[in-house]
Amino acid sequence: MALRRVVVTGLGAITPLGKTVAEYWDGLSRGVSGAAPITRFDASKFKTRFACEVKGYNPDDYFERKEGRKMDLFTQFAVIASDQAIADAGLLEGVDKDRVGVIWGSGIGGLRTFQEECVAFGRGDGTPRFNPFFIPKMIADSSSGNISIKHGFRGPNFVTTSACASSSDSIIAAFNYIRLNMADVIVTGGSEAAITEAGVGGFNAIKAMSERNDAPEMASRPYDKERDGFVLGEGAGALILEEYEHAKARGAKIYAELLGGGLSSDAYHITAPDPDGNGVVLVMKNALRDAGITPADVDYINTHGTSTPLGDGAEVKAIQKVFGEDAYRLNISSTKSMTGHLLGGAGAIEALASILAIQHGVVPPTINHFTDDPELDSRLNFTFNQAQKREVNIAISNTFGFGGHNTSVVFGKFRD
């Protein structure tokens, strides 16, 4: 059976840089930081007291109160971003909803809900008074479930969980289901809302997060010598993936083609990256092979680049192993320098960054570069501090998750 072609026909985003795709891209292309002191809880006793929150968010702007309070914040973000993407793609008119699925990604699920319910129990006298909405709000798949219920999409429906690779894995799963003719359209992407006491405290305990409290907007600085960890972000990105003939038949606008994807595992350590980058080499090779392209075809890599001392270097080494001399021709950038790290939402918003780079012919920057890291090859183009104009025909989005999960997604300019 021949594999079917898959194109991107709709986008949606609610991010620390803005609550629409247009605002998100505006922030990315201007090199804006989304970091600021934490407002979601009192972080005064925490090692890290800043994050990339979605600014000015009020659920009442999007949901009736009764509807909104039955969703954890990560599901609210999922519904908002997917609503935008569905509207953008014009998906609700004349589409067979039995052939439309939802495959979402979330690394954690409803952390706020879980935390609040367990804390309330702990403060009580041992009498269980768990809210009936506790479980349905907390479980990670309440995101894909709510999206399908809202729109009546009866196709394949589930959530992928692979920490920070979750929503690259959801995109690849959606891609495969469409390629294999098990659905014509899939709403995909991912969301996270882990800026809670448990989330920040937990990541602080791993010593994975930046503690640059005196300058939050300068804290996420991938590839800078003084980088000291990632900055936690929140939000969602959504993509409508659609079988090419199906999109053509209904006259849908096409942003890009999803050319291929690769997956691999480090099989090394639960949180630390393999310093030799073997799993990352493998994942990019797998992605190039699946897309049927060579290193010479690639213009831009949107890296995982979380701004941790170990992770950034391992990824760069792996890129050089896979791309050789072609590595110097590439634009490389980590948009996490601006958005922070959306964990299970990262793959989705970075897929959007890659697609928008193709669409606009502009590579978004790696901001906050102050000091070269002598461990990194200075001949590489990290797109430091300012966006660069470039015709992007093919872009790769890399994401890696705790557990050793690696995922690469390849997007290309659409050509009939």
Catalytic residue IDs: 164
Least separation, in Å, of the C-beta of 102 and other proteins?
21
Least separation, in Å, of the C-beta of 144 and other proteins?
19
Q: Which of 123, 129, 389, 415 binds other proteins (CB under 8 A)?
A: 129
Decide if residue 136 touches other proteins (CB under 8 A). yes
Compute the distance between CA of residue 14 and CA of residue 397 in angstroms, rounded to an integer.
19
Decide if residue 66 touches other proteins (CB under 8 A). yes
Decide if residue 262 touches other proteins (CB under 8 A). no
Decide if residue 119 touches other proteins (CB under 8 A). no
Of 41-49, 77-85, 131-139, 401-409, which segment contacts other proteins by CB under 8 A? 131-139
Compute the distance between CA of residue 28 and CA of residue 13 in angstroms, rounded to an integer.
13
Q: Which of 1, 44, 56, 64 binds other proteins (CB under 8 A)?
A: 64
H/E segment holding residue 285 = helix 278-291
Decide if residue 62 touches other proteins (CB under 8 A). no
Q: Which of 41, 62, 121, 133 binds other proteins (CB under 8 A)?
A: 133
* Beta strand spans in 57-138 (E): 100-105
Beta-sheet pairing, 36-37 with 6-14: unpaired
**Complex with other proteins: residue 54 or 139, whichever CB lies closer:** 139
Give yes or no for a contact between 346 and 336, defined as CB atoms under 8 angstroms apart.
yes
Decide if residue 294 touches other proteins (CB under 8 A). no
The total of other beta-carbon atoms located within 10 Å of residue 62's CB is 16
Of 48-56, 59-67, 286-294, 319-327, which segment contacts other proteins by CB under 8 A? 59-67
Least separation, in Å, of the C-beta of 132 and other proteins?
4
Which one-letter amino acid corresponds to residue 245? Answer: E
Decide if residue 132 touches other proteins (CB under 8 A). yes
Compute the distance between CA of residue 257 and CA of residue 255 in angstroms, rounded to an integer.
7
Q: How far apart are the first and last CA of the chain?
A: 21
Decide if residue 371 touches other proteins (CB under 8 A). no
Compute the distance between CA of residue 175 and CA of residue 172 in angstroms, rounded to an integer.
5
Among 46, 16, 13, 339, smallest CA distance to 196 is for 46
What burial class does residue 161 get, using C-beta atoms within 10 Å of its C-beta: 0-12 exposed, 13-18 middle, 19+ buried? buried
Q: Which of 131, 181, 294, 385 binds other proteins (CB under 8 A)?
A: 131
Q: Which residues bind other proteins (CB under 8 A)?
A: 64-67, 129, 131-133, 136
